[in-house]
Amino acid sequence: MKILVALKQVPARDLPVEADAARAWIDESSLSHEMNEPDAYALEAALQLKESSGGEVVAVSAGQARVQSALREALAKGADRAIHIQVEGEAARGTDPSITAKLLEAAVREEQPQLVLTGLQSDDTGSGQTGVILAARLGWPHATLVVAIEPGPDSVRVKRELEAGWFQHVTLPLPAVLTIQSGISRLRYATLMGIKRAKTKEIRLMEPPADAVGGGLRLTGLAEPRRQRQTQFLEGSPAEQAAQLVEKLRFEARVL
């Protein structure tokens, strides 16, 4: 079974971010980047399927030249090949899931995999729509929030996580697109041997289709959240604090 895994490179988590001079996107000049964590779970699911049922895992990512570091990480963990769709500007940011889906569609139609796996959402924009739009463009069946996969010769049975502890089992004909739920398994680390082997594995450069860039959603501005609440410490004796609290509730909060 050939499995294509869509990966996105995002700014490293827990780093302070600021808007750029135009306030149209974040200032990435001083940020480091890493593989999107939800996509790492999709990669792990693909590698486990390969180990249990055989086949090939192909990692694909659209973006600037730096996304090859995320692809190398995927190769070091066990992916067989990688595809880098070379794009710049708005398309490289991945802020429009419909544009990202168009880019991925071109790679999928060339590779003709039996399964396409994506993460639940990206850590930067969090739209959670790329896998669904990709399935619609391909005309393939799809399932989201997948927590278990049982492949068959012509179909795949998946377990989906619903709300309030409920699950759903669905059987889909192949080929299909699956969006993998985060946290379904423990992520593996790249071994030293895997890192060495990754240097010899192929990363194929792919030009985007002419109609896949331009248009679509455009982020026009960023704004910091407004501070609407603040903590105040009341001083004095308990009776004085109580009086101050009543006064604030009556005249500031106007709830008395």
- Looking at residue 219, its amino acid is L
Mean pLDDT within 77-87: 95
Return the pLDDT at 19: 81
pLDDT above 90: percentage of residues in the chain: 66
Q: Where are the domains of the chain?
A: 2-212, 227-256
CA distance 234 to 85: 59
Of the chain, the end-to-end C-alpha distance in Å amounts to: 67
Whether the Cβ atoms of residue 205 and residue 84 lie closer than 8 Å to each other: yes
CA distance 56 to 78: 10
Return the pLDDT at 76: 97
Return the pLDDT at 169: 96
pLDDT beyond 80 at 179 = yes
Return the pLDDT at 215: 67
The pTM assigned to this predicted structure is 0.83
187-229 pLDDT, tens digit each? 999 999 999 999 999 999 999 887 777 667 777 778 777 777 7
Which pLDDT band holds residue 89 (cuts at 50, 70, 90)? confident
**Architecture of domain 2-212 in CATH?**
3-Layer(aba) Sandwich (3.40)
Return the structure tokens found at 160: 């989906």
Mean pLDDT within 159-178: 94
57 forms bridges with which residues in the sheet? 3
Mean pLDDT within 104-131: 93
The Cβ of residue 80 has, within 10 Å, a number of other Cβ atoms equal to 16
59 forms bridges with which residues in the sheet? 5, 82
Most confident stretch, 136-150, 206-220, 234-248: 136-150
47-80 pLDDT, tens digit each? 999 999 999 999 999 999 999 999 999 999 999 9
43-53 pLDDT, tens digit each? 999 999 999 99
